[in-house]
Amino acid sequence: MTVPISLKVNSEVYKIDVGTNETLLEVLREKLKLKSVRRACQEGDCGVCTVLLNGKPVNSCLVLAVSADGCEITTLEGLSQREDFRALAESFVRNHAVQCGYCTPGMIITAYYILQSMDEVTEETIKKGLEGNLCRCTGYANIVSAVKDAYEQQK
Amino acid sequence: MNQNIFLGLRNIPSLNYHRPGTLKECLDLIRTFKSNSKILAGGTDLIPAFRAGRLFMSQEGHLIDVNGVKELDYIREEQGTIKIGALTRLAEVESSQVIRKRVPVLGQAIAQMGSLQIRNLATIGGNLCNASPAADSAIPLLALDSIVKVANSERERLIPLNDFFTGPGKTVLSDDEMLVEIQIPLSNASGSCVFYKLGRRNAFTLSVVSIGVYVEKEGNRVRNARIALGAVAPTPMRAHNGEKYIMSKNLQREVIEETGRIVSEETKPISDVRASAFYRRQMAFILTKKALNCISYS
Amino acid sequence: MIHDKLTKTLIGESVYTDDFEYPNMAYCVFVGSTQAHARIKEIDVSGAMQAPGVLKVLTGKDLIQYMDPLPATSDFSVVGWHWRVPKVYPLAVEKVGFYGEPVAAVIAETEYAARAAAELIQIDYEVLPAVVDAKHAMQPDAPLLYEEWGDNVQVHVTFEWGDIDSVFSEADRVLKVSWQEGRVSGFPIEPRGCVALYDKNTKELTMWGTYQTPYIAQRCISTTLRLPRSKVKVIALDIGGAFGNKINSWKDTVVALGSILTGRPVKWFENTREFIVTGPHQRDTIWEGEVAVTNGGKVLGVRAKYIQDLGVESTNRGAAAMSIVPACAAIPNAYRLKALKVDAYGVVTNKSFFCAYRGYGKDKGVKFMERIMDWIAAELKIDPAEIRKRNFIKANEFPYKQISGYVYDSGDYEKVFDEAIRMADAEKWRQEQQTLQGSGRYIGIGYAFTVEPAGVTVANCVFTGATEARIRINEDGFVEVWSDRTEIGQGGNITIGNVVSEILGANLEDIIVHNVTSDMVGSGPISSRGAVYPLSAVAKAARELKARVVKIASFFLEENEENISVGGGLIFSVKNKDKKMTFKDLARRAYFSPGPRGLSEELKLKGDIVLDVIATWYSPNTAKNPTSTYTTFCSSADVAVVEVDVETGNVSIIKYVHVHDAGRIINKQVIDGQLYGGIVQGIGEALIEEILYNEAGELLTKTYADFLMPTSVDAPGILLKHVETPSPFTETGAKGMGEAPIIGSKAVIISAIEDALRPFKVRIDRAPATKERICAWLSSRKNGDKEVKS
């Protein structure tokens, strides 16, 4: 069954037809060609598919696109246009928080949310906030440093 | 579902999709389609179940997406009761000022569930209806003797949460009913309540054993106690023998020790890939003691 | 411009396999067995073949018409070893040998259609008893995976160095030692995949994908498909981590065949579950033996039996049957051993195949030895740091020929170790340990020292030691570099850029490091060889190119060669600062204006006129010391303090120090990144990571929810420090690095837990030390069991 939906993705409104079984991840990647939203486990265990859904980080592999009708979605492509994201991206690069890069879009989206929305930004709250984004390359050390560094900068 | 093959990822079935805007519409749909339908709330249990091949539905099946039933998304305090709509996201419950003020243990337990991303999608109603024996939100709710309101298109009924779960993945819901509200009478929350979770790693992990202990005490004497545990029985459970034992006793070392022993004996854990029954029973003992020690010092 | 992966993504230039799209591309999905060991009575694909969108369905029986069996990645039967190579096709033909083993491939218009069709495949199995434990597999009545073998021993070698019998007879004491590591693997976040395109016009096959080692993949794919190498090109795309898990290629041959038969480009990209179930597994080792020591704590010799579980096999899908060699040869580690004897077995079981994971084989010997050191210390009541120091190879003894034949290039073990002990403030923690015991709290201090052999060259196997690098300066002023050092997230590209920039003088932003393809001969970034082989070839090529640049520039600038220098994107005279040119100027003049015709007679006769050089490089260490398989030897010290909750078994890491000697540091950020990453992986192996099969051979840990890896919350604070003893054997003085951190960390955490539980007399002889296991060890000691029940 296909259903017409409207998604506001990275500030642009898309009217598309989606199968009722298509995930938001699939629609973002395949229909909207937003390749920064990645596939790995596709069952909510790794976080590489993280996007902001109405401003909050979610696993896009667990959201049916049809269920996200009318929602606002932000991917890395959209975040990269924002002024308040630049410092975080630069901090990630400066602090060598990126090795193979596969987990990075999901990771940085969650990190962005932590910086923008969490009451307390400490090493502990950063680590806890990132618990749903697995990384195998970096051991997380430089990722946490990068978020802390960006936080210090924005204060 | 073809159980004869290994396939790394299964297709999500293409179902008939419904998106009710009101509770009434929703209940009517459930009544119509009954067990040929599934409710989609957060999707954090449903989607992985399809993907892993644990759940199968044919394309004649129906998906009832309740994410539009906004009237079920609320947290209120009314008439001495905290009322949480079934559709409330776990993250909302965790960060709610009402919850933090009135029943902080619930937020503390939820903070340890899944990941930030999962908590932004998963709903409290969904967590309870999925009825995993390890459902973390159920544990403090049981310790606070919460009540759930379920409804069908004719009427509502109130069920003590303690009577809600019937087996792994099973509840008392009939096939035309839906969970609509969780109620926590504040009179059940006047004492101290602590929650502990033991998992195999420090974050983003299923509970191996979890515990919620509620105690009202006078000085050091227990006036009322409720002990709830997760992942140690076919359902989230209350340790009634332990509760009976500790009533009217002073919270001292020997009593705590004995309570732990009794609670441990009441559990009916299984051995699975996460832990053995033996370890679970042992940890039920340890966590009971830990919780009671914490309460006795407060 | 060498971009980091975030910038690359932000500018829309990253292409991981899942991003790679081709017009008219079809999709391949693999269907696996739900039995661990069974004969395939029948596979009914008729339903699948008729499903919407399906182009082709292949089974093992189809494959044998088009393909040869997968070639062996190593074959030591030629040197007389007990070495068996089974006949293996990427789809099971008559028998399945592990849970999830692919039995069919469905190629369809879309991934969705392929998966839908896959559901319609019916398999009729004749279930056979499965064997999931290596020791059981070695018993005479065990079920056989390969009946023609008569047993389950794929490989067996006995290593003996020194006079083991006399060493044991002269020893003051002989201690029994045993050590077991559970099954784990790397499972980088990006699973595996490829896109295959067979061009019917040119009859050329191109493969793009997660190829850690394109040249090795080319060998496998072309041999299997009976295609000349010249007609097969394998290209590495952006790769989301590898750690050795993406070395082999076997399913890719089926994807390629799919393209050949359908005439379409075909993509395969697995998800994590498929990766965990059918991917390469590692560790799963058993050591049992004895160590001979003096009363003064000198380790004289070790003799042991080593059983390596190879899963279904490790010579065809996998390339690690020969890892038993470094497993044994790495045992002496940092110490002066007099003799070593190991009876090593590679045993097949009904589990997924064994291949490489950070450490490969060297890790096993080192961890075994580090456990032994702790036990000797405990037995002789000598401090565990002191016991190591008493046995260290001294700084003035390098290059040091180890009894196992490796020639260690350089090092200063005492300095590295003492620094780690100082940084960890071990003395203070010892006191703290005493104090806390009084209040029923148990902390432990662990030590580990690791010597990491890197830069491998082996005969009769795919890890040959060949490497080549090519550098070219273009007319547009950009410098292109090709090598076999695939970028897998380890920082290969940036360090290549650093080396070329330093030697050639070009600006880093003008250097282009190409994705690695099978056009360059070499084994890729395996076994930490990146900084040894490929980087040495790059340095060598850079030097040769620089010499040519200097010659040509001296002609154009009318300056003597000895006065020409390079740097900052310029070639200039040190005597006259007006005499300078950019690389773009030089190239334009050398290629076009005036071009080669306008160069000097001498240059023209020599032919040194094209700004394009290829160099190869081989280890001078191995060349001069034929028994030294490896070229460089990093060393590192790990010191960790943990607290163990003796009620729950929970382990908290309260201090972690790692001091590392990787020879000359080219890029400190890159190296530190490798250290943090490897340490956290090793901590995961020590505490939570375990691949588990049940007795019937079904894999129980199929997802990241069951095979638990560390999250950000599980990563402790880590203090790092560097010591640099340059390697005399590489072109840059750098040593190959990256595996020591995963080795030492696993050893040190186990060591620290054991130290914390010393009052309870728990001896830890296996990993992972999960919470439950720790509790079980404690309670079995409490029950007065003499033997700790693992």
Q: What is the model's pLDDT at position C524?
A: 96
Nearest residue to A41 via CA among B204, B1, B136: B204
Strand ranges in C213-350 using DSSP code E only, listed in sequence order: 232-236, 266-269, 282-293, 299-309, 339-347
The percentage of residues in chain C with a pLDDT greater than 90, rounded to a whole number, is 98
Average pLDDT, chain A: 97
Query: C186 contacts in A (CB within 8 Å)?
Result: 136
Q: What is the model's pLDDT at position C789?
A: 43
What would the mean pLDDT of C466-482 be, rounded to a whole number?
A: 97
Rounded CA gap, C689 and C685, in Å? 5
State the angle between helix axes of A141-154 and A83-94 in degrees (0 to 180), rounded to the nearest 10: 140
Q: What is the model's pLDDT at position C28?
A: 98
Distance from CA of C670 to the nearest CA of A (A): 8
Greatest alpha-carbon pair distance for chain A in Å reads: 50
Whether residue B208 has pLDDT greater than 80 = yes
Q: Which domain holds residue B112?
A: 70-187
Q: Looking at chain A, which residue has its C-alpha nearest residue C112?
A: A22
Query: C241 contacts in A (CB within 8 Å)?
Result: 99-100, 102, 136-137
What are the tens digits of pLDDT across the range C656-713? 999 999 999 999 999 999 999 999 999 999 999 999 999 999 999 999 999 999 999 9
Query: In CATH, what class is C5-128+192-269?
Result: alpha beta
**Following DSSP, what letter does each residue of B157-200 receive, concatenated?**
EEEEGGGTEEETTEES--TT-EEEEEEEEGGGGSSEEEEEEEES
Long-range own/partner contacts, residues B252-258 (CB < 8 A, 24 or more apart): B252/B220, B252/B296, B256/B288, B256/B289, B256/B292, B256/B293, B256/B296, B257/B289
Q: Looking at chain A, which residue has its C-alpha nearest residue C358?
A: A137
Q: Looking at chain A, which residue has its C-alpha nearest residue B19?
A: A67
**Chain A interface includes C18 (CB < 8 A):** yes
End residue of a domain, out of B187, B212, B227? B187
Distance from CA of B10 to the nearest CA of C (A): 7
What are the tens digits of pLDDT across the range B106-121? 999 999 999 999 999 9
Domain count, chain B: 3
Q: Looking at chain B, which residue has its C-alpha nearest residue A127?
A: B203
Residue C433 contacts residue C189 (beta carbons within 8 Å): no
Interchain proximity C16–A137, CB inside 8 Å: no
Residue C772 contacts residue B276 (beta carbons within 8 Å): yes
Quick check: bond before C716 cis, omega within 30? no
Q: In the 3-class helix/strand/coil scheme, how is A17-41 assigned residue by residue?
A: EEECCCEHHHHHHHHCCCCCCCCCC
Q: Are residues B55 and B11 in the same domain?
A: yes
Q: For residue C1, count other CB atoms closer than 10 A to its CB.
A: 15
Q: What is the model's pLDDT at position A27?
A: 98
CB-defined contacts B:C, below 8 A: 97
Rounded CA gap, C548 and C714, in Å? 52
**Predicted confidence band of residue B2 (pLDDT cuts 50, 70, 90):** confident
Question: Comparing C282-459+623-789 with C468-520+533-616, is the CATH topology the same?
Answer: yes
Q: Are residues B197 and B288 in the same domain?
A: yes
Q: What is the model's pLDDT at position C335?
A: 98
End residue of a domain, out of B187, B204, B220? B187
Whether residue C613 has pLDDT greater than 70 = yes
Interchain proximity A20–B63, CB inside 8 Å: yes
Tell me the residues of B at the C interface, defined by beta carbons under 8 Å apart: 1-11, 52, 198, 200-206, 208, 273-276, 279, 282-283, 286, 290
Query: B51 contacts in A (CB within 8 Å)?
Result: 42-43
Q: Looking at chain C, which residue has its C-alpha nearest residue B8?
A: C274
What would the mean pLDDT of C361-377 be, rounded to a whole number?
A: 98
Whether residue C790 has pLDDT greater than 60 = no
Q: Domains in chain A, please, with CATH?
A: 2-75 (3.10.20.30), 83-154 (1.10.150.120)
**Chain C interface includes A50 (CB < 8 A):** no
What would the mean pLDDT of B258-286 be, rounded to a whole number?
A: 97
Q: Are residues B172 and B87 in the same domain?
A: yes
The percentage of residues in chain C with a pLDDT greater than 70, rounded to a whole number, is 99
What are the tens digits of pLDDT across the range B12-22? 999 999 999 99
Average pLDDT, chain B: 97
Residue of C32, C703, C713 lying closest to B203 (CB–CB): C713
Q: Are residues B40 and B134 in the same domain?
A: no
Per-domain boundaries in chain C? 5-128+192-269, 282-459+623-789, 468-520+533-616
Instruction: Give just the sign of the alpha carbon dihedral A114, A115, A118, A124.
Output: positive
Q: What is the model's pLDDT at position B285?
A: 98
pTM metric for this prediction: 0.98
What are the tens digits of pLDDT across the range A105-128? 999 999 999 999 998 999 999 999
Q: What is the model's pLDDT at position C785?
A: 62
Q: What is the model's pLDDT at position B1?
A: 65
Q: How far lies C310's CA from each of B90, C71, C186, C444, in Å?
A: 44, 17, 16, 34
Q: How far lies C215's CA from each of A117, C222, C597, in Å?
A: 48, 11, 37
Q: Are residues B153 and B183 in the same domain?
A: yes
Query: C713 contacts in B (CB within 8 Å)?
Result: 201-204
User: How deeply is C141 buried, as exposed, middle or buried, from its count of CB atoms within 10 A (0-12, 13-18, 19+)?
Assistant: exposed
Q: What is the CATH number of domain C468-520+533-616?
A: 3.30.365.10
Q: What is the model's pLDDT at position C716?
A: 98
Greatest alpha-carbon pair distance for chain B in Å reads: 62
What would the mean pLDDT of C137-147 be, rounded to a whole number?
A: 97
Q: What is the model's pLDDT at position B42?
A: 98
Average pLDDT, chain C: 97
Q: Reply yes or no on domain C282-459+623-789 having CATH 3.30.365.10.
A: yes
**Predicted confidence band of residue C607 (pLDDT cuts 50, 70, 90):** confident
Interchain proximity B273–C700, CB inside 8 Å: yes
Interchain proximity A21–B14, CB inside 8 Å: yes
CATH number of the domain bearing residue B9:
3.30.43.10
Interchain proximity B118–A132, CB inside 8 Å: yes
Interchain proximity B121–A57, CB inside 8 Å: no
Q: What is the model's pLDDT at position B298?
A: 79
Nearest residue to C777 via CA among B196, C516, C765: C765
- The full length of chain A comes to 155
Whether residue B101 has pLDDT greater than 50 = yes
Rounded CA gap, C432 and C443, in Å? 8
Whether residue C653 has pLDDT greater than 60 = yes
End residue of a domain, out of B142, B164, B187? B187
What are the tens digits of pLDDT across the range C191-214? 999 999 999 999 999 999 999 999
Q: Looking at chain A, which residue has its C-alpha nearest residue B61?
A: A1
